[in-house]
Structure 1
Amino acid sequence: MSSPLTIAALAAGLAGFSPPALNVPPVVIRAAGDCSAAAAQVVAETGGELLSARPTGDGQCVITVLIPGNGGRPKKVTVKVPM
């Protein structure tokens, strides 16, 4: 059998109540593995549209962009660049 305290805590959580000590805003932290600068550089150099940017384990970023074609389909290009 569940304790009344456990049931009350579960009900309060489902109702959206959060004790003041736990009611903190989310924090966004940029880590050393941030590929935003590398992605911006690739987009600027290619004139393409950014599809994805992800860090690899070896200090590099895999950047994928769509480069507009001459009236046809855009070309998907993936490059690996240093962070």
Structure 2
Amino acid sequence: MDDIAAMAVAPVSGDCSAAASQVVAETGGDLLSVQLTSDGQCVVTVLIPGNGGRPKKVTMRVPM
């Protein structure tokens, strides 16, 4: 699933695809969104599955 998430990001923010893959790998979550900020950082949001409850939303900033 990680490969699919990274490919889905590439057309939107090609420069942030590596950052998105890194965050997904580190957290084990599902990619929700990726944005490139004006200061050159990637803001990556993932959903981390919970124990039968709602998934936890985690947002991380990754420098390029």
* TM score, norm. by length of structure 1: 0.59
**Gaps spanning 5+ residues in structure 2: where?**
1-10
1:34 matches 2:20: no
**Gaps spanning 5+ residues in structure 1: where?**
1-29
1:3-82 to 2 correspondence within 5 Å? 34-82=15-63
Aligned length: 52
Q: What is the one-letter code of the residue matched to 1:41?
A: Q
The structure whose RCO (Cα within 8 Å, separation 6+) is larger is 2
Q: Which has the higher strand share?
A: 2
* TM score, norm. by length of structure 2: 0.75
Q: Percent identity?
A: 81
Structure with greater Cα Rg: 1
Q: Measure the CA separation in 1 of the matches of 2:18 and 2:27.
A: 14
Q: Measure the CA separation in 2 of the matches of 1:67 and 1:82.
A: 22
Cα RMSD over matched residues?
Answer: 1.5
